[in-house]
Structure 1
Amino acid sequence: MNFNNKTVLITGGSRGIGKATALAFAKAGAKVGINYKTNMTKAEETLQSLDGSGHQLFQYDIANKDQQQELIKDFLKTYGHIDILVNNAGISIPHDIDEVGFEEWTIAWEQTMNTNVFAAANLSFLAAKAMMQSGGGHIVNISSRGAFRGEPTKPAYGASKAALNALSQSLAKRLAPHGIYVGAIAPGFTETDMGAKTLTATERENLLRESPFKRMAQPAEVAHAVLFLASDAASYSSGAIIDVNGASYLRS
């Protein structure tokens, strides 16, 4: 896939799936804007590892409505247009309903929805407005298999990803006449540095058993699916939700 002269904004682009996606787009010729919140060291490391030139870091908290607008303004000031938006940034907060109090429950829901849904919706709005002026583009949202199978210890996370799927499909229908294509990727558990630090040995073993491949997804495998949906060849796949979970969860 060739993305020469394309501009790409990736939220949460400094590590994990976001980093792998940034690497893949840069290798394919795109100019990549990496949004990150706080970890400048990781963001700089990712920036330095990208092929090509013209890449840029954008430090903004996308859970903040004002900073969402500033991020898109800054990106457009830097590149002049936006071809591809990848809404990758997300959070996952454990909040077992039979273990937490009401305040902890409500905080988990508010924070999760602000980052996983409202930020993606607002950035899609702002990016789409710019894309309408420049002839179209692509929006790819990073969802999760949790949107389909449920997340009993993190229900807000599962609900947020289900909402992100619905957002993707709603925008796919509405934005098609403007030449803007929208889709989502629903990964299973992915082998990232952050995930490795939080898993116990037992949890890791259980996750490995979920897939008949007996392994987790690699970030690069998720990134490959992102690039497909962001490519012109996938235009008629607008509205699609692509599972990348190693057959660990199958839906009809």
Structure 2
Amino acid sequence: MSDVTNDLRLDGKTVWVTGAGKGLGRAMAVALSQAGATLAVTARTADDLERLAAELAGHGGKVLVLPGSVADSDAVRAAVGRITEWTGRLDAVVNCAGVSPHFTRSERVTDEAWQQVLDINLAGTFYCCREAGKVMLEQGSGSIVNVSSVHAGAGFERIAAYAASKGGVEALTKSLAVEWADRGVRVNALAPGYFRTDLSSGLLDSRWGERIVGGTPMGRVGEAEELGGAAVFLASDASRYMTGTTVTVDGGWTAW
């Protein structure tokens, strides 16, 4: 009989988290380390990663710091090479790197602003899936968790590029799941609702915040650490019969 407690443990497994410097990516990296994972962490700001690594090392965690942008396919390829040199394997990836720098009416979105969001959120996720997938397919096992958003499927004003990028992430997730399932690699998506982070605080503290909370049956936004359990579940053997699925963690949030 399978022991679900053991299935949720990540001891002996190497897990790569992108966007790990702050916010939801950082919270998920902490949870994965607490579950026993050996971590590789990527973000554009090295200082954020070094602080995370020092904190986790203080609790016995093993962490490899890999600063860089997921929008740079050469940097992604190099990062995966460093990880496999370090531990010889790659068991799970949590693709959390993403941006939403513009809250702008769609008719005012510039070509450059549109492309910036898609380069990081969608192309970057694909680059990480592709390079990690090569290693996992050779191993015959692995779990990829792509961080999407409730806005992949629920409309909201002034975030056209972000919503389009996250819709693309979910379509990519389903396609890879079908393509790689028979070779032991699972690909799922995790779609957070509204959590309080540096990325969301400006919106939540504006006049829009009341509308957002008002559309959440639980009557509040999430705290970053409340996403950690879902990330551990999808990365671990506890979800071994799941692929191509989107797990939504949103307090029941609905569009209006």
Does the TM-score normalized on the shorter chain lie above 0.5?
yes
Aligned to 1:114: 119
Aligned to 1:180: 185
Decide whether the 8 Å contact of 2:32 with 2:231 is kept in 1: no
Aligned to 1:42: 48
State yes or no: 1:8 paired with 2:7: no
> What RMSD, in angstroms, separates the aligned Cα atoms of the two structures?
1.6
**Once the 2 structures are TM-superposed, how far is the Cα of residue 232 of structure 1 from its aligned partner?**
1.1
Aligned to 2:84: 76
**Once the 2 structures are TM-superposed, how far is the Cα of residue 150 of structure 1 from its aligned partner?**
2.1
Residue-pair matches, total: 245
* Partner SS state of residue 247, structure 1: coil
**Once the 2 structures are TM-superposed, how far is the Cα of residue 196 of structure 1 from its aligned partner?**
2.4
Aligned to 2:26: 19
**Once the 2 structures are TM-superposed, how far is the Cα of residue 197 of structure 1 from its aligned partner?**
4.7
* Partner SS state of residue 239, structure 1: coil
Q: Deviations over 1:159-189 (max 9, x none)?
A: 1101100111111111111111110011111
What is the CA–CA distance in structure 1 between the aligned matches of 2:82 and 2:160, rounded to whole Å?
Answer: 34
Q: Deviations over 1:71-122 (max 9, x none)?
A: 1112222221110011100011233123x2xxx5211221111111111111
**Once the 2 structures are TM-superposed, how far is the Cα of residue 198 of structure 1 from its aligned partner?**
5.3
Query: What code does the residue aligned with 1:85 have?
Result: V
Decide whether the 8 Å contact of 2:18 with 2:42 is kept in 1: yes
Query: What code does the residue aligned with 1:24 have?
Result: A
TM (normalized to structure 1)? 0.92
What is the CA–CA distance in structure 1 between the aligned matches of 2:47 and 2:253, rounded to whole Å?
Answer: 34
1:133-144, aligned counterparts within 5 Å?
A: 133-144=138-149
State yes or no: 1:162 paired with 2:167: yes
Give the counterpart of 1:124 among 123, 129, 137: 129
* Partner SS state of residue 31, structure 2: helix
What is the CA–CA distance in structure 1 between the aligned matches of 2:202 and 2:150, rounded to whole Å?
Answer: 21
**Once the 2 structures are TM-superposed, how far is the Cα of residue 201 of structure 1 from its aligned partner?**
4.2
Decide whether the 8 Å contact of 1:29 with 1:52 is kept in 2: no
TM (normalized to structure 2)? 0.90
* Partner SS state of residue 5, structure 1: coil
Unmatched 5+ stretches in structure 2: 1-7
Decide whether the 8 Å contact of 1:183 with 1:241 is kept in 2: yes
Give the counterpart of 2:210 among 205, 211, 217: 205
Unmatched 5+ stretches in structure 1: none
